[in-house]
Copies of this chain bind each other. A is one copy, B any other.
Amino acid sequence: MSRPQTAPPTLEDVARVAGVSRATVSRVINGTRNVDRKIQEVVRAAVDQTGYAPNRAARSLVTKRTGTIALVVSGAGEQGEEDAFASRVFADPFFGRVASGVVGFLRTRGVHPVLMVADTDRAREDVLAFLRQGSADGALLVSTHAEDPLPARLAEAKVPAVLFARPARPVPISYVDLDHQAGAKLAADLLVELGCTQVATITGPLDVPASQNRLTGFRDAMARHGFPYVPIAEGGFTAASGEVAMERLLAEHPGVDGVFAANDLMAQGALNILQQHGKRVPQDVALIGFDDSGPALACRPQLTTVRQPVEDMAAEMARMLLGQVDDPDQRPRSVIFEPSLVVRGSA
C-alpha cells in the first residue's frame, strides 16, 4: 500500500510496477489470451502490491456489461401509497426467500442484484430506463399483480429477464414456476385420506394465475375423490385476510372439517380463527397451508403445508438470466418445479 490517501490504483499503476503494458495486465486479469507464465506471476504480484481492483464503470463502458442485475418487485400502483406497497411486500417472508436464493446464486458469480420496486407507472418507467440504457444486464421480476404491464414491456424492449411465475397474460418471456395444481392435489389427497368430508379452501387473489391454479388443482382433486362441491373464500395472501376468509367460511359452513389455504400466512390467520371458535386443529378441523415459509413453523400446531422450493426457484431464475445475458438470442424458456408435502401438526 504505497499510496495512502490517494486515488485507487489503476491498470496503469499496476503496469508500471510490473514493468509491462496496460494491455498485458488487462489480459492476465481477465484471463484472456496467452500470457507468459513468468509475466503472469509478475503481474499478479504487482496487483497484490498495489491493491488493485478493476474499476467497474470503466470496464462496463467498453464491455457493455455491468455485472449487475435488477431484482424488481412489481405490483399494483395504488396512487399515493407507494411506501405501503414496499413495506407490504418486503414484510412477506416469500420475498425474503427469493432474495436469499438470488443472492446465494449470484454471490459466487461476481454479479450483484440491485433492489427495485415498481409499484407506479413512474417507477416502472424508471426500471425500464435503468435496464435499457444498460445500468443492469437484465432483470429478475417478481410480480404481485395480474395486470402488471412490466413483463410485456421488458419483453418488447428485449431486455434479458426472467419472471417468478407465469405472467397472467401470455408474454414471450422466461419464467420459473411451480406446479401449483400438483401442490393443491397433494393437499386434497391428504385431507381426504384423513377422512375429512366437509372441505373448504381459502384462495389467493383470483386474478393471480398461481391462485387460480391452486384452486383448480384442489377442486379437480376433490372432485376426483367424490367431492364435487368445495366452498371457497378469497383472501389476499395475508394473515389478516386469512382470518376474514375463515370467519366467513365458518359462518356459512359451520361443519367444515378440512381447510386448504393457498399460503401459510392465510393458514396462520385461519388457525387463529379456528382456535378462537373452539375448534381443535387438527382433531376438529384439519388445516393445510402452502409455501412452507417461516410462519408455518411458528404456529401451534405447526402447519402441515405444501412446500414450494422458493430459494431453489429463485436461484434457477438467476441462472437462467445469466444464461440469457450471455446469449441474448435465446428463446424464452420455463422451468417448472415440483411441490412436496410437509406433514406437521395441523393436518
Contact = CB atoms under 8 A, between A and B. Distances in A.
Contacts of A294: 91, 239
Given A55-B133, A56-B135, A295-B298, A100 B114 contact: no
Nearest to A98: B90
B297 A239 contact: yes
Count of chain copies = 2
Interface in A101-124: 103-104, 107, 112-117, 123
B107 A117 contact: yes
A109 to B, nearest CB: 12
Interface stretch (A81-89, A187-195, A219-227): A81-89
Interface stretch (A58-66, A173-181, A279-287): A58-66
Interface in A14-60: 53-58, 60
Given A115-B115, A272-B300, A8 B133 contact: yes
Given A91-B93, A132-B8, A112 B116 contact: yes
A269 interface: yes
A132 B56 CA distance: 11
A295 B272 CA distance: 13
Contact of A276 (B87, B268, B295, B300): B300
A158 to B, nearest CB: 8
A250 interface: no
A281 B27 CA distance: 67
Interface residue tally on A, bucketed by range: 35 or more
B103 A123 contact: no
A337 interface: no
Contacts of A134: 8, 55-57
Centre residue among A96, A240, A269 by max chain B CB count within 10 A:
A96
B129 A103 contact: no
A96 B91 contact: yes
A76 interface: no
Interface string A292-320: 01110110100000000001000000000
A129 B272 CA distance: 49
A112 B114 contact: yes
Given A97-B87, A100-B83, A295-B295, A112 B112 contact: no
A275 interface: yes
A68 interface: yes
B116 A53 contact: no
Contacts of A58: 57, 61
Q: Which 6 A-B pairs have the closest CB atoms?
A: A90-B96, A53-B133, A57-B60, A87-B100, A90-B100, A83-B104
28 contacts: A8-B132, A53-B129, A53-B133, A54-B133, A57-B60, A58-B61, A61-B61, A71-B115, A83-B104, A83-B311, A87-B97, A87-B104, A90-B100, A91-B96, A91-B100, A91-B293, A91-B294, A93-B93, A103-B115, A103-B117, A112-B115, A112-B116, A114-B115, A239-B294, A239-B298, A272-B300, A275-B300, A276-B300
Interface of A: 8, 53-58, 60-61, 66, 68, 71, 82-83, 86-87, 90-93, 95-97, 99-100, 103-104, 107, 112-117, 123, 129-130, 132-135, 239-240, 265, 268-269, 272, 275-276, 293-295, 297-298, 300, 311
